[in-house]
Amino acid sequence: MRKKIVAGNWKMNKTLAEGVQLINEVKELLAKQTPKQSPAELGVVFGTPFITLATAAELVKDNAYLSVAAQNCYTKESGAYTGETAVGMIKAVGVSNVIIGHSERREYFNESNQMLAEKVDIILKNGLTPIFCCGERLETRNEGKHFDWIKQQIEESLFHLSAEEFGKVVIAYEPIWAIGTGVTASTEQAQEVHAFIRSILVAKYGAKVADDTTILYGGSCNAANAKELFACADVDGGLIGGASLKAQDFVTIITSF
């Protein structure tokens, strides 16, 4: 059965000291509110700013549920790319996931589906897990074109992968209109798109791969609505922005399954 994941995306929030405090608080709360699932069945990810990654990786080492994600990486192994960070460097400090294709990166940093295909490749080459974000704008949904849009994002960034490679990818569906807005997709809207994503995976890679793929929901998912979202058949957890910055909220979400 596919793994459930609750991943926090801190975005550009928390200093190193604040991040350490948050991770320690989450660990303390998790020790008291242990999830029903085993660490093989449920993963908890901290998507921290780069400056916090190495320390965060040290802090999570002693807890089998926990791992760390970078929020971006570059497409090259090393070299003259001022300001960028290579996947090998991320891996070397003990980080095992990289979030890519977040709508904020697509919008503010011009990340294209083609560039994300290169990022997926280099992440997999280094043996890390890509958490690949996709999702539509409100206008696209209102025009009824959101399924085509999401399909194209997935096809252009992921469908060059072999079935074996694809088996290492986590997908996060994040409708842009729900991110940071307080407007969550309804359970019907989330389930409908998640089921659609799984159907295109069945068509491309077959039922087994599709069935094993973790598909997260993101966009104003919080302690109050996580339970009903996670109860949807094809929603395997969440990518959590704002609510991942508060330890108790994040742990409530983690224990919502």
Catalytic residues, which ones? 102, 174
**219 touches ligand PGA (CB under 6 A):** yes
**135 touches ligand PGA (CB under 6 A):** no
From 19-27, 142-150, 154-162, 237-245, give the range in contact with ligand PGA by CB under 6 A: 237-245
Write down the H helix ranges in the chain: 16-32, 50-60, 87-92, 103-108, 113-125, 138-142, 146-158, 163-166, 187-205, 207-212, 226-230, 247-254
From 64-72, 137-145, 223-231, 234-242, give the range in contact with ligand PGA by CB under 6 A: 234-242
* Residue given tokens 């405090």 in the structure block: 21
List phi, psi (to 5°) of 208: -65, -50
Q: Which residues in 176-205 contact ligand PGA (CB under 6 A)?
A: 179-180
98 sits in the region (left: phi over 0; alpha: psi -120 to 50; else beta) called beta
From 15-23, 140-148, 172-180, 194-202, give the range in contact with ligand PGA by CB under 6 A: 172-180
**240 touches ligand PGA (CB under 6 A):** yes
SS3 call for 10: coil
Binding residues for ligand PGA, how many (CB under 6 A)?
13
Least separation in angstroms between residue 78's CB and ligand PGA is 29
d(CA 34, CA 254): 9
d(CA 4, CA 163): 20
Give whichever of 137 and 204 is closer to ligand PGA, judged by the CB atom.
137
Q: Which of 136, 174, 234, 236 binds ligand PGA (CB under 6 A)?
A: 174
Angle between helices 113-125 and 146-158 (to 10 degrees): 40
Instruction: List interacting residues with ligand PGA (CB under 6 A).
Output: 9, 174, 179-180, 218-221, 239-243
